[in-house]
Amino acid sequence: MIILTFPEQDWYKYVISGPNFTYANFSLAYVAYVDSLDSTIGYNISTWKGDLSAYRDRGGKILTYHGQQDFLISSSNSPRYYNHVSRTMGLTSNELDGFYRFFRISGMGHCSGGPGAWEAGQAANAYVSSDPEDNVLMRMVAWVERGNAPEYIRGTKYVNDTAALGVQFRRKHCKYPARNVYVGPGNYTDENAWSCLQHSF
């Protein structure tokens, strides 16, 4: 089942299909159809191209993340696209790692906020430090300029989301398709009580 949030419904309804668009019109086939309209609509809206080989061959790197509590865009969209690229290019996750890495951020809302360790340098209001360990932008720089690819993104949760009040907990967010699983023995705020466990997709 595919669920569209209100902004996504509005996009399809008022930009692509017209006022008669409903959930019943939506499917992966419809997404592929929308992708084919790029040249006629003129907004360069494509989000479903699965062959990224030209970008990869130019040395491009993709580091993407998605909050698991995103209230605007379903958190299943990013894994769906990642898997689409994997199938289209005929590459396993290990093979995609050379240029495309995706991280699911537990407890993050739409790019920021939420009860999880969401602050990772992705915006001014999420600055923790300039250390690539705690800053997703600097992590990207380290990957592109030094070949130091990320195995995880470490997020920080401040008390009441206020740095001056101190760190409530930190967590290493796993590289897909691994998922973050509590293994103990500490409580949920113990960074070492979580582990990235692999599963196939």
In which band, very low, low, confident or very high, does the pLDDT at 1 lie, cut at 50, 70 and 90?
very low
How far is Cα 67 from Cα 193, in angstroms, rounded to an integer? 21
Percentage of the chain lying above the pLDDT 70 cut: 88
How far is Cα 66 from Cα 117, in angstroms, rounded to an integer? 13
φ and ψ at residue 172, rounded to 5 degrees: -90, 120
Q: For residue 101, what are the CA distances in angstroms to 72, 94, 167, 193?
A: 22, 10, 27, 24
The answer on pLDDT for 182 being more than 80 is: yes
- To the question of pTM greater than 0.85 for the whole model, the response is no
Name the nearest CA neighbour of 182 among 193, 168, 198: 193
The answer on pLDDT for 59 being more than 60 is: yes
Tell me the per-residue pLDDT of 109-165, one tens digit each, with 9 for 90 and over: 999 999 999 999 998 888 999 999 999 999 999 999 999 999 999 999 999 999 999
Give mean pLDDT, residues 64-71. Answer: 94
Tell me the per-residue pLDDT of 9-54, one tens digit each, with 9 for 90 and over: 777 777 777 777 777 777 878 777 776 665 555 555 566 789 999 9
Give mean pLDDT, residues 91-107. Answer: 97
89, 102 Cβ separation under 8 angstroms: no
118, 141 Cβ separation under 8 angstroms: no
DSSP of 159-175, one letter per residue?
Answer: GGG-GGG-EEEEEEEEB
153, 132 Cβ separation under 8 angstroms: no
Give mean pLDDT, residues 183-201. Answer: 87
Give mean pLDDT, residues 77-99. Answer: 95
